[in-house]
């Protein structure tokens, strides 16, 4: 069974619709949410996983071009109307209403467009690449979510790591990248205060790139007060100086304080600000301390995931389960220092044997000349060889090299007579 894709007139434009709904709305719903959640929200009779694929294929293959149709908000429609710049977009409308309406941009068209901010308009005026979104949803429909098989697990129990609180995060991609940073460094609790695009969000899951357990356990809260209600100690990250009488900590100092408090059984959290303008002073005032990351004073802006990554790195550095790199069936945990694998440092007996071997061959070939400086040269040679910190295998290799240089190897072996 398949659904019919109809072409409906929309003023001077024509739009592909399914069950009375513009095709772009179907693509958006399935892209922004899990496919099943998107279909449930749309509630179009007859539209399910089995009938969704041809609908998505129509958009993904740009079949609308053959029908001279476009969807509202699609980048193809913007291009078809000859709108190439933001100025063209404003000119094509009667009015652009910004935010609460205190700022309005006048154009020469007949329609009114509303936008929450000029910065948002700058990013969205050209429209969305719905055909690209369709291709992504098709891949998920046919093959499932990429990395869905990857299942991490929390390093600690509830409350044993500080909660990461994001204040009004705007972009689901940023939430996903924060989740990945949390999973990398053992920050197991993610709390979202009034996420702009709602929660849960499929875009965030994709951007998390396998950090599914962080996404699955993340909680959304209507206010900061609700998100931090169970905490006894909260630090707030900021790049701006505030006229507040609070301790100012580096990431390392903040983590040290958090570890001590969590060790005493307290529930703690780290508050991160909005992507666009960080935290407001009133929000910082609710924290016990301020965390400021050492940065270039002339370019202090860090994105959200970078900030979480830096605090997470400091947290993991002091964790007794930290590992340099990954640990798998074939890779053991590493610590800093010389990597020896299964090799062992050379014993003094092995090193003395190497000295005797080298010095004997040098004596035979007349290297020590004048002979009265032999002891000085020997001391320097031994010091140099000991400084290299050779392994047992390396000593055997060096002795093989000396033997080959002195006597040759195989057919090239020199006569000892």
pLDDT one-digit tens code per residue, 110-130: 989 999 888 888 888 998 889
In this structure, are 138 and 116 located in the same domain? no
Integer Cα distance of 299 and 317 in angstroms = 26
Q: Residue 220: what pLDDT?
A: 95
Sign of CA dihedral 250, 183, 190, 35: positive
In this structure, are 114 and 228 located in the same domain? no
In this structure, are 226 and 115 located in the same domain? no
Residue 364 lies in a domain: yes
Residue 343 lies in a domain: no
In this structure, are 242 and 375 located in the same domain? no
Sign of CA dihedral 71, 75, 78, 82: negative
In this structure, are 200 and 290 located in the same domain? yes
pTM: 0.56
Integer Cα distance of 108 and 17 in angstroms = 29
Residue 384 lies in a domain: yes
Which of 317, 335, 366 corresponds to the end of one domain?
Answer: 317
Which of 317, 338, 367 corresponds to the end of one domain?
Answer: 317
In this structure, are 235 and 292 located in the same domain? yes
Sign of CA dihedral 200, 29, 44, 194: positive
Q: Residue 223: what pLDDT?
A: 95
Is the CB of residue 34 less than 8 Å from the CB of residue 202? yes
Burial of 12 (0-12, 13-18, 19+ CB in 10 A): exposed
In this structure, are 271 and 391 located in the same domain? no
In this structure, are 173 and 286 located in the same domain? yes
Structural domains of the chain, count: 4
Integer Cα distance of 32 and 29 in angstroms = 5
Where residue 326 falls (left for φ over 0; alpha for ψ -120 to 50; beta otherwise) is beta
In this structure, are 361 and 286 located in the same domain? no
pLDDT-above-70 percentage for the chain: 89
Q: What is the pLDDT of residues 329-368, one digit of tens each?
A: 556 666 666 677 778 889 999 999 999 999 999 999 999 9
Q: Taking all residues of the chain, what is their mean pLDDT, rounded to a whole number?
A: 88
Q: What is the pLDDT of residues 169-192, one digit of tens each?
A: 999 999 999 999 999 999 989 999
Residue 322 lies in a domain: no
Residue 323 lies in a domain: no
In this structure, are 88 and 78 located in the same domain? no
> Rg of the chain over CA atoms, in angstroms?
33
- Counting as low any pLDDT under 70, the low residues of the chain are 1-2, 145-157, 320-338, 411-417
In this structure, are 103 and 131 located in the same domain? no
Please name which of 350, 377, 237, 219 lies closest in space to residue 293, comparing C-alpha atoms: 237
Is the CB of residue 167 less than 8 Å from the CB of residue 307? no
Q: Residue 18: what pLDDT?
A: 92
Paired strand residues for 106: 95
Which of 276, 298, 317 corresponds to the end of one domain?
Answer: 317
In this structure, are 173 and 292 located in the same domain? yes
Give the residue numbers spanning the domain of 110: 84-123
| CATH assignment of the domain containing 298 | 3.40.1280.10
């Amino acid at each position: 069974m398949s659904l019919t894709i109809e072409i409906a007139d929309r003023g001077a434009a024509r739009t592909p619709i399914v069950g009375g709904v513009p095709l772009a709305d179907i693509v958006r719903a399935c892209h922004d949410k899990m496919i099943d959640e998107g279909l449930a929200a749309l509630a179009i009779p007859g539209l399910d996983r089995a009938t969704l694929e041809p609908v998505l294929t129509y958009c993904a293959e740009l079949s609308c071009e053959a029908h001279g149709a476009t969807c509202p908000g699609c980048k193809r429609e913007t291009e078809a109307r000859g709108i190439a710049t933001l100025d063209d977009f404003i000119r094509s409308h009667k009015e652009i209403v910004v935010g609460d309406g205190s700022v309005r941009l006048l154009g020469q068209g007949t329609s009114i467009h509303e936008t929450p901010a000029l910065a948002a308009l700058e990013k969205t005026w050209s429209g969305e690449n719905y055909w690209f979104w369709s291709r992504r949803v098709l891949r998920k429909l046919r093959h499932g979510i990429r990395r869905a098989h990857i299942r991490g697990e929390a390093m600690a129990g509830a409350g044993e790591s500080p909660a990461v609180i994001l204040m009004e995060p705007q972009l689901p991609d940023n939430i996903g990248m924060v989740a990945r940073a949390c999973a990398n460094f053992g920050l197991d609790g993610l709390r979202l205060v009034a996420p702009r695009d709602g929660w849960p969000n499929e875009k965030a899951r994709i951007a998390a790139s396998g950090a599914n357990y962080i996404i699955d356990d993340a909680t959304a809260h209507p206010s900061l007060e609700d998100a931090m209600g169970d905490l006894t100690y909260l630090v707030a990250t900021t790049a701006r100086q505030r006229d507040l009488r609070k301790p100012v900590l580096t990431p390392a100092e903040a983590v040290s304080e958090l570890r001590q408090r969590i060790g005493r059984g307290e529930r703690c959290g780290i508050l991160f600000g909005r992507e666009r303008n960080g935290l407001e002073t009133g929000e910082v005032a609710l924290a016990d301390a301020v965390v400021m990351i050492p940065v270039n004073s002339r370019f202090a802006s860090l994105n959200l995931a970078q900030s979480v990554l830096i605090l997470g790195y400091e947290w993991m550095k002091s964790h007794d389960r930290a590992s340099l790199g990954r640990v798998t069936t074939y890779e053991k945990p590493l610590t800093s220092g010389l990597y020896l694998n299964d090799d062992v440092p050379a014993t003094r007996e092995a090193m003395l044997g190497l000295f005797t071997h080298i010095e004997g061959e040098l004596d035979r070939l007349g290297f020590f000349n004048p002979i009265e400086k032999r002891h000085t040269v020997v001391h320097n040679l031994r010091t140099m060889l000991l400084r290299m910190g050779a392994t047992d295998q390396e000593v055997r290799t060096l002795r093989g090299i000396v033997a080959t240089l002195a006597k040759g190897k195989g057919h090239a072996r020199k006569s000892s007579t």
